[in-house]
Chains A and B, each alone.
Chain A
Amino acid sequence: MTAETPGDRDKADAARAAAGDAEAFARLVARWQDRMLGLAWRFCRDRTMAEDMAQDAFVRAFRALPRYRSEAAFGTWLTAIALNTYRTALRDRPPVPVVPLLASHAPASAAEQALGLERRQQAELVRAQVLRLPDRYRTAMVLYYFQEQDVAETARILGLREGTLKGRLYRGRQLLERRLRALGITNL
């Protein structure tokens, strides 16, 4: 007897949901909402927009379930749908201004606070600059880091060859570093 993996559970629920079982789809939403919301958040840095986009992605996925082929991992398939949904939603919108972090998250001591705040502001600035990259670089970079720098999985989701993805990551990074240097950030 073999243990049922999360992937098996996803595929079984996807099959049930495709047959009209809403409860099965609710289980998929419960298992994947954090990931889908996390990816949306990385693309827009706005909670309301991220939730709207993630919800739209789930609705599109539900409609597309009859076309899901279980040879592919459910997560790969769902992430590809989410990615297309987010790119479409963000196509004509300017990047959302980055909201400063809350002061309550700051470290205790004044020195650490100053250092920590500076680093976090720099990190937010870097992330905001990633969102201002051309779409092909932005999508590749956001997804690559979201997928914990897994080139093979990122390429599968994007439908690209690994070499093409690596090229986009390299060029995107070059462009990002140039823009950061122009903003006076030279310590990265």
Chain B
Amino acid sequence: MDELDRILAAADPLVPSAGFANRVMTAVRTATAEEPPLPFPWARFALGIAACVAAAVSIAWFLSSVGAEAIGEELARVPGADAALLVAAVSVSVAEAFRLRARADF
């Protein structure tokens, strides 16, 4: 063992201060008395995923049975439909941006 080993291995004990063990046990009891963290809501999460899958399947089935082109043609007959859809999309986007910002500020 060289000098560096000797220095690093040297026992340099620190005696616990009076009451250290009692403070640890108090902290343990306090920690166990706290409410446990909320578990992740797996049941609701699974229901949400199932609902999303069902919606996606329904939309896919609807589009395949009616035909996306037919929907486009029907919309093209309505005067001002393009502009209305554009305004609706912008409005939803702006509202969502405000909502996210409000949540971040909160």
Contacts and interface: CB of A to CB of B under 8 A. Distances in A.
- Asked whether A and B interact, the reply is yes
B14 interface: yes
A135 interface: no
B25 A145 contact: no
B27 A38 contact: no
A123 interface: yes
Interface in A19-36: 22, 25-26, 29-30, 33-34
Interface string B6-44: 011110111111001101110111011000000000000
Contacts of B16: 33-34, 37, 51
**Chain A contact surface mostly:** helix
Interface stretch (A8-16, A56-64, A70-78, A79-87): A56-64
A55 B9 contact: no
Interface residues of B, number: 24
Contacts of B21: 26, 29-30, 33
B7 A22 contact: no
Nearest to B31: A59
A126 B5 CA distance: 11
Contacts, number: 76
Indicate the size class of the contact surface on chain A.
35 or more
B105 interface: no
Nearest to B10: A123
B3 interface: yes
A149 B14 CA distance: 20
B8 A22 contact: no
Given A55-B27, A59-B28, A123 B20 contact: no
A161 interface: no
Contacts of B32: 62-63
Contact of B25 (A29, A37, A148, A188): A29
Contacts of B17: 47, 51
B73 interface: no
Nearest to A39: B14
B25 A173 contact: no
A139 to B, nearest CB: 13
B35 to A, nearest CB: 13
A33 B20 contact: yes
Contacts of A104: none
A22 B28 contact: yes
Contact of A33 (B9, B10, B24, B28): B24
Interface of B: 2-5, 7-10, 12-17, 20-21, 23-25, 27-29, 31-32
Closest 8 CB pairs of A and B: A41-B14, A145-B8, A188-B4, A123-B7, A58-B24, A145-B9, A62-B28, A188-B3
